[in-house]
Amino acid sequence: MNRSNWFYVKIAVVGIGFIFGLLSPFLGSSEAEYIDIMDCLIVLIFCPVGLLFVIGIQAINPISGKIWTKPSWESNPFNFKDPLHFFHLGALNILATSVGSFISTFFQNPTLWFPVFLYFFAGAGTLAGVQLCQFIYKKKYLAG
């Protein structure tokens, strides 16, 4: 099976996010203690709404591509005429960071879960925003 180079770039970016999560520097910081469930919920709500706004601006931008393609592991995340691919990679990276942080937190400081949940909700919210954008701006996408 022949994969595009972007597949390997994305695997590397997601892998680096996971390693970063394992080595999370915030676990020993005092600021981490002030993150609570409300912060996590705000991030979960803000990410898709913010992404809808940003992609909505790109949908009417004349420089943006006339037809967009759905994000995939094989697509170029730096094709700014097709802006959703960049946010798709970012969401996957943030989710990988949160998985690494879950593992790190479990072994280092199991009392500080909310900073880890903040990463997770940011990634999940952004990924939900990517899916929502594909639905809301479906006229920009190829049929299928």
Q: pLDDT confidence of 64, banded at 50, 70, 90?
A: confident
What are the boundaries of each domain within the chain?
A: 37-140
Q: In sequence order, what are the residues at sequence separation of 6 or more whose Cβ sits closer than 8 angstroms to the Cβ of residue 11?
A: 73
Q: What are the tens digits of pLDDT across the range 114-127?
A: 778 888 999 999 99
Q: Looking at the whole model, is its pTM more than 0.75?
A: yes
Residue 27: its pLDDT value, please? 52
For the range 108-111, what are the long-range contacts, defined as Cβ-Cβ under 8 Å and sequence gap of 24 or more? 108/27, 109/27, 109/28
Q: Does 28 score more than 70 pLDDT?
A: no
Cβ distance 89 to 77 under 8 Å? yes
CA distances for 43 relative to 6, 63, 67, 71, angstroms: 29, 30, 30, 22
SS (H, E, C) 13-58: HHHHHHHHHHCCHHHHCCHHHHCCHHHHHHHHHHHHHHHHHHHHHH
C-alpha distances in Å from residue 81, one per residue of 39, 62, 90, 114, 128: 33, 10, 17, 36, 21
Q: pLDDT tens digits, residue range 75-85?
A: 999 988 889 99
Q: DSSP string spanning 51-80? A: HHHHHHHHHH-TTS-SSB----TTS-TT-T
